[in-house]
Structure 1
Amino acid sequence: MPTLSLDEFQIGWICALPVEVAAAKEMLDENFGILDEQDRNDTNSYILGRIGRHYVVIAGLGLYGLTSATVVVIHMMRTFQSLRVGLMVGIAGGIPSPNHDIRLGDIVVSYPEGTCGGVIQYDLGKIVQGGKFVRSRALNGPPRVLLAAVERMREALLTSSPTYPEYIQKATQRTHRTKRTFARPDVSTDRLFRVEHEHPDSNTPT
């Protein structure tokens, strides 16, 4: 690892699942490895690296839940007091619709719109008659620096071809294991089932 101060790390990248941590690590331009020394009360495990000119620290939740996420964030901010931006990045399902044709493998970035801050938290609302979700409160919107970055991406799409597909392709094709783990699924596997369809507990043939 280069001689870097922890104060140079300004982006925190948090993942819920081990496979998400592995994917995040593959996106690093330079991997500095695991942080060797930290506060003994900090129970997180950190992977340090660089993406472009940004120094990034990656951590996994270890356990699911809001409490676990809160603990990870608190420890990360204690160890890396210079963090400017925190990102929660993970795997989601694909749900095509006439308005938003979201498929498996697509990248989705949340963005504020109307009265929504960009993320809808499931426990800040309730399900009413007919299965409709009604929000009772709202989360804060993303930091302005992230909103500005999204606007720059939107502007670039009007004049230039996006480069991130090539960047992702390079990362996923790095080794045989990354191909098998992170390559986009074949379109034949991108199927939707009716709500009443019962799914098996595993993919093991019966």
Structure 2
Amino acid sequence: MANLYEIRADYDRETIVVYQAYSDAIADPALAAQRFVAPFSLGRMTWIKPSFLWLMHRSNWGQKSGQTRILAVRITRIGWEKALSLGVLTSPEKRVFASAKEWEHQFKNARVHIQWDTERSARGAALPYFSIQVGLSRHIIREFVDDWIIGIEDLTPTVRKLNRLRTSSSKGFKRYLPFEKVYSVNAELQRNLLISS
């Protein structure tokens, strides 16, 4: 079984895939430009998630309003690990922070927020471990857009196919899922972000 807190992702030596759900108005220009462009906002936080099934749960398999297009955004591991290094947890975990006041100060000034959410199965059931999502504030989004993104792929047709397969008890379902494996980080990040060793 997976550790309680660990990063699981589709990655290679230089890049990692994160998932986002958007409307057509944002997805189409982003796919054409292979980066996020207007009307994507550089002035508000954007969340990136390496767990495909967690985003499927969050977007109801691309059926929620404003989340009908599922994008796989391949970014550099250098950028990903910079985001993690700047990240502050969204809750005052006693294993990480000396006091709630220390957490509040760090969180208020953080360029990146780190949140752990209950991982989900293909049918949406809660699993006994967590999945990471990373919130990029307006202070770092431009770097994400201009420097980190290698490519953007539209997974919407695959998501629709998967949604049909998962509700028809088809054995072909898992074949279309992105392959995710544990993404290791250094001891300092493990400690600061609650990641299980």
For normalisation by structure 1, the TM-score amounts to 0.23
Q: Which has the higher contact order (CA 8 A, sep 6+)?
A: 2
Higher Cα radius of gyration: 1
* Higher relative strand content: 2
